[in-house]
Structures are given as C-alpha cells and as structure tokens.
A and B are shown apart, each in its own frame.
Chain A
Amino acid sequence: MKSPIKAVPAGGRLNLFFMEMIIVLMFFSIASAVILNAFAASGRLSRESERLERMSFCAQSAAEIFSESGSLSQTLEELFGSGSYEILNLDLEGGGYAAEAKLPLTGDCEYFPQSPEIFMILAETAEKSDSGTLKILSVKFENTDNEELYRITSGAYIPAERRSDANE
C-alpha cells in the first residue's frame, strides 16, 4: 500500500513551503550566530565594567587608609581583616625599604561579593629624608594570566619626630 503522504504533489510542483522553511532556517541560523555574539559581548562588557568599578573603589579605599595610617599592614587589616594576608619584606639596592602583599580576591569581601578571579598586589616603598618619610603605595590588580588590569599610586607623608612642645 502506497504512503498517502506525497512530497511532490500532482503536477510536479515542489512544495514551496518546505523549501522556504529550509532557506529561512538557514538564513536565521547565520543571523542568530551574529546576534548571539553581540549579546555575549554585551554581557562580557557589563561584567568587566562592574569589575573595573569595584577595583577602582578597592584601590581608592586602600589609598585613603594608607594616607591616614602610613602602614601597609594597617591598610590590609582595615580592608580585609586580620590574618588574610602575608607581607613580604623586600631588600632594595642601596638599603631601601619595600614591602609587598599579593592577595587572591575571593568572593567574601565587601568590595568583591563574587569572586572576580584576580589578584590584588600592594607594594610599599619609602623615600626617607631628615624631615620625614614619604611612603609610596602602589595598588595593582592582575588577572590569572598576570595581565595588569588596573593600577594606582598614592602616598603618605610621615614627618619625623619634632619638638614635643608643638601645639596641635
């Protein structure tokens, strides 16, 4: 018994509907590849923008705390709490002083509620003179490929001990 469904109706004319559907689907698949790319790029841009905003605020907070305290350890304690960092003291040529801390940013601090998979590197150096010490803090953010994402440099001036009869 023959199948009642005929792909080719009487008269030899092709069923244009199915042909049209095939062409439409082909064109739509090409167009949707481009459109999906645009959506994916939008989502990625949005995430990167928010991450840059958070890096900027975290760096600003580090710079402000450092300018008041003049201490890298106090800055880190205020930002992330005690015990969450390790400071390496580096010896520079000519007897200079430097300290560095590299923190993997996880998703449990108020600056980055979701893990951004980046590292925050804070480095402190000092320029001493007879009248005081100018401490320089460099705050840098890097991704897992060691690519620099954002950096600021700030400082704190700590005057040397002066006469004790000065008025505040």
Chain B
Amino acid sequence: MNRPGSGRLAETVSSAASMTLFLIFSVCCLIIIAVASSAYGRISGNYDSTFNSAAAVRYITNKIRASESAEVISESELLLTNSGYETLIYHDGDAVFERLFAGADSMKNEDSPNAGGERMFGAESLVIEETDGLIKVTAEDSGHSFTAYCRGKEK
C-alpha cells in the first residue's frame, strides 16, 4: 500500500534529479562553447600573427626587387631609392612603418626621418642585415618569425 509521504518524496527526488541533470547539461554546454571560442581565437590569432610577419617580409623583399638601390641604414631601417624618390622602411615599437621622401638624399636632411611614417604591418621585431651582397629580412610577431634573403642593390 502506498503512503502519501512516499509519493511526495518520489516527486521531490525526481524533480531534484531532473534539475541536477539540467544543471550538468548547462555546465557542459558552457564548457563546450568556451572551448570552441578559444579554438576559434587560437586559429584567428595564428592567422593574424602569421599574416603580419610573413606579409612584412614579403612586402620588404618585393620592394627591394622593385627598387633601383637598397641601403641598410641600421638593423631596423632600410632605405630604398626608385625614380628619384626615397622610401624609408623602419620598425618602431610594435609595427613596420614606411615613409616616402621626394628627391634623392632628402631623407638625410630630415631631423627625425623615422617618425611620421605610415603604419604597414604589426610586428614585434624587424631585423635587416646585409652580408655578401644579400639582404636578410626577419620579422616576428606573436611568436611567429619568418626570414628571407633578397639580392642587395648598390647605388
């Protein structure tokens, strides 16, 4: 014979069990969404940092190929001359900048040539070296580093 108390107890346990299951399901859903969003963040961040550093190296090497002469001013500054114009590519802070100067030798007359340029790519570091007629360009951003050589061009 069923007692009234045991019926209420059964309903309470049943509802508690269903609420517990619902809670577990909710927590699992939240965890899955968090994992998926971190995976997306990782892929997207990887794309950004790879693009920044690889594009910076490609841009600089393509610019060197298209210029009449290339001069390495310092470890993070490169001066390109083309059709009477000078282009200074330099690294400052966290990005690669480019500044155009009209006329030959006009960069040397500037007080602060590596300021006021146009921001091209985000990069934590940019290293430009010249050895044996070759220019080596290395750019790094968020742990992704790319290096490439390019033939130098003397004036």
Contact = CB atoms under 8 A, between A and B. Distances in A.
Interface of A: 2, 4-6, 9-10, 15, 17-18, 21, 24, 32, 35, 39, 42-43, 46, 49-50, 53-54, 57, 60-61, 64-65, 67-68, 110-111, 113
Nearest to A67: B151
Interface of B: 2, 6-7, 9-11, 13-14, 17-18, 21-22, 25, 32, 36, 39, 43, 46-47, 50, 54, 57, 61, 132-134, 138, 144-151
A15 B11 CA distance: 11
Q: Which 3 A-B pairs have the closest CB atoms?
A: A61-B149, A64-B149, A57-B148
A9 B43 contact: no
Given A64-B134, A68-B133, A4 B147 contact: no
Given A4-B13, A53-B54, A18 B18 contact: yes
A78 to B, nearest CB: 8
A60 B144 CA distance: 18
Contacts of A111: 147
Contacts of B7: 10
Contact of A53 (B11, B61, B146, B149): B146
A46 B44 CA distance: 9
Nearest to A60: B148
Contacts of A35: 36
Given A9-B11, A17-B21, A57-B57, 9 more contacts: A6-B10, A9-B10, A17-B22, A46-B46, A60-B150, A64-B151, A68-B132, A110-B138, A110-B147
A63 to B, nearest CB: 9
Contact of B36 (A9, A39, A43, A68): A39
Given A46-B43, A49-B50, A68-B133, A54 B13 contact: no
Nearest to A50: B50
Contacts of A9: 10-11, 14
A164 B22 CA distance: 90
A40 to B, nearest CB: 10
A65 B149 contact: yes
A129 to B, nearest CB: 23
A10 B151 CA distance: 87
Contact of A39 (B17, B22, B39, B47): B39
Contacts of B46: 46, 50
B149 A60 contact: yes
Contacts of A57: 54, 57, 146-148
Nearest to B6: A4
Contacts of A68: 132-134, 151
A65 B54 CA distance: 19
21 contacts: A2-B6, A4-B13, A5-B17, A6-B10, A9-B10, A9-B14, A15-B14, A15-B18, A18-B21, A21-B21, A24-B25, A32-B32, A35-B36, A43-B39, A53-B54, A54-B146, A57-B54, A57-B57, A61-B149, A64-B134, A64-B149
